[in-house]
Amino acid sequence: MATLQAEKVSKRYAVRGIETWALRDVSLAVEPGEFTALAGPSGSGKTTLLNLFGALDAPTSGAVSLDGQDLALLSRSQLAALRLAKLGFVFQAFNLIPVLSALENVEFVMELQGAAKAPRRERARAVLADVGLAELADKRPLEMSGGQQQRVAIARAIVSEPRVVLADEPTANLDSVTAGKLIDLMERLNRERGVTFLFSTHDPRVIERARRVVRLRDGSVVADERDA
């Protein structure tokens, strides 16, 4: 069974009465343990597809499922519980909670999951150390560089060991060295812990590291390439 599955999914936005189709009849299955890139130019529908897989948005038509569970059948609270239990997110603009420190940002997901304070704090520190930010644990996001913030975002996404990490242009705001380190980290997590990664990018250096590349253009899948 596919971890993520989209069947004939379309998404339409209406802005000031003007309708725009972000996705048209997209079908895609992501199997457990995949390290997949969604590639395409801006406006091709990458973020929209990630949002639909992440239960952050609902399709206009078609069905999206996670581990075989049709997301359309779940309530707002059930979707939140599903995201909390199974998904980790990395957003393009870092999107950390500005009033929490790096450690608190990472710890917060586990706190929502009901983990006890001592073990969750220990785990959050360990993951921050994994991403090379042990010494910045008590800094707030605005006191860190873009690369550091994105590493905190990665730490937050993986700290509770989700089945799937959805990353939207994770290297978009990073220099090439930091971007390379981030991809290394994601690869390591995928390889060592079996975390399924689906990330959007139009960075060729990132695309060439993916084992599967799904190319989108104007809301449709135009190519689906896998490593030999």
Partner 1 sequence: MARALAQFAGSLVRASTWRLALRGLGRQPRRSAVVLAAVAIGLGSLLLAMALQYGLVGQMAETAIRSEIGDLQVHASAWKDSAPLAERMPEAPSLAALDGAQTLIGVAPRLRGEALAQSPRASVGVRVIGVDPAREPSVTTLASLVQEGAWLGVQPRRALVGGGLARRLRTGVGDKIVLAVQDVRGDLTGEAFRIGGVLNPPTRELDESVVVLSLPDAQRLYGVAGEISELALAARDRAALEAPRAEAAAALGVGVRVETWREREPLLSMMIELFDQMGWVIYAAIFVAMAFGIANVLLMSVLERTREIGILLAIGMPPARMVAIVIAESAVLVMVGVALGFALGFGGIYALRDGIDLGVFGDGLRAYGMPTKLMPIARSGDVTAPLVVAGVTALIASLWPALRAVRTRPAEALRRA
Footprint of partner 1 (CB under 8 A): 47, 51, 54, 56-57, 76-77, 80-85, 87, 89, 91, 93, 95-100, 108-109, 111-113, 156
Judged by CB, which is closer to partner 1: 99, or 223? 99
Judged by CB, which is closer to partner 1: 197, or 210? 197
Judged by CB, which is closer to partner 1: 141, or 213? 141
| Chain centre to alpha carbon of residue 56 | 11
Judged by CB, which is closer to partner 1: 96, or 174? 96
- Across the chain, how many H-helices and E-strands are there? 7, 10
- Residue in the structure block whose two tokens are 């520190």: 125
What residues pair up with 166 in beta bridges, in sequence order? 89, 198
Q: What is the DSSP string of 101-125?
A: -HHHHHHHHHHHTT--HHHHHHHHH
Provide CB contacts within 8 A for 73, sequence distance 6+. none
> What's the min distance (Å) between Cβ of 13 and partner 1?
9
> What's the min distance (Å) between Cβ of 159 and partner 1?
10
**Nearest by Cα to 49 from 107, 6, 88:** 6
> What's the min distance (Å) between Cβ of 83 and partner 1?
4
> What's the min distance (Å) between Cβ of 77 and partner 1?
6
> What's the min distance (Å) between Cβ of 168 and partner 1?
9
Judged by CB, which is closer to partner 1: 72, or 97? 97
**Tokens matching residue 78:** 């059930």
CA-to-CA separations, 94 to 35, 118, 174, 219, in angstroms, rounded: 20, 26, 11, 25
> What's the min distance (Å) between Cβ of 198 and partner 1?
15
Judged by CB, which is closer to partner 1: 85, or 223? 85
Q: Is the dihedral of CA 185, 187, 188, 189 positive or negative?
A: positive
Q: Is the dihedral of CA 190, 58, 214, 1 positive or negative?
A: positive
**Tokens matching residue 80:** 């939140």
